[in-house]
Amino acid sequence: MLHIDIPTLEEFKALAQIKGEVCVSVYLPVSPLVESIRANRIAFRDLASEALAQLRETGVDKRKIVDFEERFDHLIGLERDVQDEDKIRKLQRAKADPFDTFWHYQAHGLAVLATPGMMRLFRLPNSPKPLAEVADRLHLTPLIRAMTSPHDIFVLALAEESVRLIHAFVNFPPVRLQIPDLPGNVEQATRRPSFHVRAPRGRLQNLEGEKVLLQKYVRKVEQAIHSVFAGLNTPLVVAADEPLASMYRSLNSYPGLTDEMIEGNPDQKTDAELEDAAIPILDRLYSREVKAAIALYDQLKPRRATTDVSYAAHAATAGAVEQLLVDLDAVVPGVVSDVDGSVIYSASDDAGTYSVVDEVARRALSTGARVLGARRDELPDRAPLTAILRYDFGLIQT
């Protein structure tokens, strides 16, 4: 089963607001394979040791260093190559360490974000570069990448004989979700075992009666899966034949439903085959959104759209960014003012600076902007970012 912990927007905002404290950010690529558990732990241990060394070099209070060290040691867990028999028996009697289970269920990347008294873990679908950073704020760029890249889509496989809600992922096997109150099929939903028998049932009969019963079935399906999508914007694609596809679309209340659908009876497709059909839809959906944002930029520039990093930083600080396309691989070192968003650029990236582009993305996300990752060659003028503003921000671009 897949285990991914992408932060919600509210979680990201809370992390982004942490400033002025001693913050440790550790990122590393990991493998989801069970045989890689030990290697994953060792990789984290080495990066944690690097972070602790940075804490000592910067003169952080020893008590805080001890707090970080204890948290990291707990996460790493005990080595199981114990030779003493008494210790082995004690380990066998001990309660299972939840972090043992944690290391058994990984994705492709791991983020460990810590301050004195707090540690957050996120298992990521992409593989971040190894990083151990100590600063006055958390390093959130890899989280932004995970939050702004297309990596998952829901598939509702709807047929008369069965219904499935599948969570499909890029480069991961699909997961079939278990939904309370989801009817198993149309007969179960309508409590009519002889669904296709053309016999009167009250005022309902023949094809018109079947249509009403199908609508009842689809309505129960929509009601059952509705809570799954609360607070999400993950796309949903329907795999169904007519008339079920149109019936569901007319009853659907989730704004993430895609226009494209997977045609044909989904009963004839496995979960993996449905995922293979859904991922190209996800790619096309994301590509269209990027192209639409660029077209909007062309309409609104220069007052309400910009590729100027300094102008975008001012706007993001004021909460004026509506959409942001960003090349997260771009390196533009500097410092952005917390007061007005003015930028002081640096010739090199060091402990006193950070990526200005990443900081603009962080501030845009924190103020409700739609942020999309893009390649540099997709962006206008090959700029590191493209911002669409909510209003004429009033600064003159240079």
Tallying the residues shown for the chain, one arrives at 398
Q: For the chain, which residues make up each domain, given as ranges? A: 9-148, 152-286, 301-389
Q: Over 80: is that where the pLDDT of 352 sits?
A: no
Taking only the tens place, the pLDDT of each residue in 159-205 is 999 999 999 988 888 999 999 989 888 888 777 665 555 555 555 55
- 210 within 8 A of 195, measured Cβ to Cβ: yes
Q: Over 90: is that where the pLDDT of 300 sits?
A: yes
Taking only the tens place, the pLDDT of each residue in 35-54 is 899 999 999 999 999 999 99
Is the full-model pTM beyond 0.85?
no
Q: Over 70: is that where the pLDDT of 87 sits?
A: no
Q: In whole numbers, what is the pLDDT of the chain averaged over residues?
A: 86
Q: Over 80: is that where the pLDDT of 89 sits?
A: no
Q: Over 60: is that where the pLDDT of 260 sits?
A: yes
Question: Which of 100-104, 189-193, 332-336 holds the top average pLDDT?
Answer: 332-336
Residue in this structure with the two tokens 């069965």, named with its chain if needed? 162
Distance (Å, rounded) from C-alpha 178 to C-alpha 187? Answer: 19
Q: What is the average pLDDT across 5-33?
A: 89
Of the candidates 330, 334, 323, the residue with the CA atom closest to the CA atom of residue 370? 323
* Cβ atoms < 10 Å from Cβ of 15: 23
> Which residues does 220 contact at the CB level (< 8 Å), separation at least 6?
181, 183, 189
**CATH second-level architecture of 152-286?**
2-Layer Sandwich (3.30)
Q: What is the average pLDDT across 217-244?
A: 92
Measured at the CA of 32, the angle between CA 30 and CA 36, to 5 degrees, comes to 70
Q: What CATH number was assigned to the domain covering residues 9-148?
A: 3.30.960
To the nearest whole percent, how much of the chain has pLDDT over 70?
87
Backbone φ and ψ of 70, nearest 5°:
-65, -40
Q: Over 80: is that where the pLDDT of 84 sits?
A: no
Class of domain 301-389: alpha beta
